[in-house]
Amino acid sequence: AIPLVVAINTSLAARNGMLVRDRIAMEQARNLDAIIFDKTGTLTEGEHGVVGMRTVSDVSQDDALALSAAVESDSEHMIARAIREEASERGVDVPDASGFEAMKGRGVRGTVDGQAVYVGGPNLLNHIDSEVPDVLADFADEAGENAQTVVYLVRDGDLVAAFAMADVIRDESYSVVEALHDLDIEVAMLTGDSEDVAAAVANELGIDTVFAEVLPEDKDTKVQELQDEGKLVGMVGDGVNDAPALTRADVGIAIGSGTDVAVQSADVILVQNNPMDVVRLVKLSKASYRKMQ
């Protein structure tokens, strides 16, 4: 039989927009030492817009946008959406791409007019072996200082353009960090984005621990790292990329508008996509425990 208190606690949670898939995890939430948040779409709005671009001298901005939008045409990523939007706003003709492939946490690739085209972030650069031209390196440095996410366009092995995209921190994120600190919980952030952007967001929010440029397949090892320090760890995420980390965490929390995979890997689902519900979850768990004693 389900203990009465747990039943109450679960329906109370449901009334607060929390779906509890694992009651033990819900109970453990009161003891969390650290909570790791996915950055994009969880602490930030996840709605990137292209705020700047730079190309090498023999490539026009329109051509760079056309190639980029072509290989991004099948991607659901926020970055892809922003690039397609920019191309359409500028009235750029987007050619067809073939052989489209998403490289998780890195970017996308495809073939356009016989050219091999890649669009992706810093993790892509580690992956392909090409020099960053000075104009693009300077542009990327400046964008990084402004906490803008940079993605690169690679055509037939050459880096030919860079885009700067801005995302905004969600208003609620400030209160979340403050409230978790009040509860003596360490706040960490996990992202595939660059060190620059991660540091800027972390400083702004007062986040204690930052894991940046983490590939999707390594996200769960960061959860493990904190667990190895003897901490009980919660993880909050929304993406397919976050699923293994959600599973690894002692309390995996999916934010509601997230993907099915994230939702299926989580112990608790926050229906309303409000990160403040993470705080409510911990408080509800603490309150229920007190009642049990």
Enumerate binding residues for ligand ADP (CB under 6 A): 38-40, 72, 75, 77, 79-80, 105-108, 119-121, 123, 149, 151, 191-193, 216, 239, 241
Q: Provide the minimum distance between the beta carbon of 151 and ligand ADP in the complex, in angstroms, as a whole number.
A: 5
Token pair for 245: 């980390």
What sections of the chain are H helices per DSSP?
4-15, 23-28, 61-71, 78-89, 122-125, 134-145, 171-182, 195-205, 219-228, 243-248, 260-265, 276-292
- Which of 27/242 has CB closer to ligand ADP? 242
Q: Which entry of Mg ion, ligand ADP, none binds 244, CB below 5 to 8 A by partner kind?
A: none
Q: Which entry of ligand ADP, Mg ion, none binds 144, CB below 5 to 8 A by partner kind?
A: none
Structure-derived torsion over alpha carbons of residues 146, 151, 156, 157, reported in degrees to the nearest 10:
60
Q: Provide the minimum distance between the beta carbon of 239 and Mg ion in the complex, in angstroms, as a whole number.
A: 4
Token pair for 226: 């904190």
Site size toward Mg ion (CB under 5 A) is 4
- Which of 13/159 has CB closer to ligand ADP? 159
Neighbours of 287 (CB within 10 A): 12
Could you say which of 22, 38, 182, 220 is catalytic? Answer: 38
Question: Applying CB under 5 A, does 40 fall inside the site for Mg ion?
Answer: yes
Question: Applying CB under 5 A, does 149 fall inside the site for Mg ion?
Answer: no
Please state, in angstroms and as integers, the Cα–Cα distance from residue 224 to each residue in 218, 255, 286, following that order.
Answer: 10, 21, 24
- Which of 63/280 has CB closer to ligand ADP? 63
Q: How far apart (Å, rounded) are the C-alpha atoms in residues 93 and 110?
A: 17
Q: Which entry of Mg ion, ligand ADP, none binds 50, CB below 5 to 8 A by partner kind?
A: none
Q: How far apart (Å, rounded) are the C-alpha atoms in residues 25 and 11?
A: 15
- Which of 120/239 has CB closer to Mg ion? 239
Token pair for 276: 């403040």
Residue closest to 86 by CA, chosen among 62, 113, 115: 62
Q: How far apart (Å, rounded) are the C-alpha atoms in residues 69 and 50?
A: 12
Q: Provide the minimum distance between the beta carbon of 181 and ligand ADP in the complex, in angstroms, as a whole number.
A: 23
Active site residue 38: yes
Class of residue 62 by CB neighbours under 10 A (exposed 0-12, middle 13-18, buried 19+): middle
Q: Provide the minimum distance between the beta carbon of 126 and ligand ADP in the complex, in angstroms, as a whole number.
A: 11
- Which of 72/250 has CB closer to ligand ADP? 72
Give the nearest residue (CB) to ligand ADP.
121
Residue closest to 48 by CA, chosen among 72, 79, 9, 17: 79
Q: Which entry of Mg ion, ligand ADP, none binds 170, CB below 5 to 8 A by partner kind?
A: none
Question: Applying CB under 5 A, does 239 fall inside the site for Mg ion?
Answer: yes
Q: Provide the minimum distance between the beta carbon of 41 and Mg ion in the complex, in angstroms, as a whole number.
A: 5
Q: Provide the minimum distance between the beta carbon of 219 and ligand ADP in the complex, in angstroms, as a whole number.
A: 7
Active site residues per annotation: 38
Interface residue list for Mg ion (CB under 5 A): 38, 40-41, 239
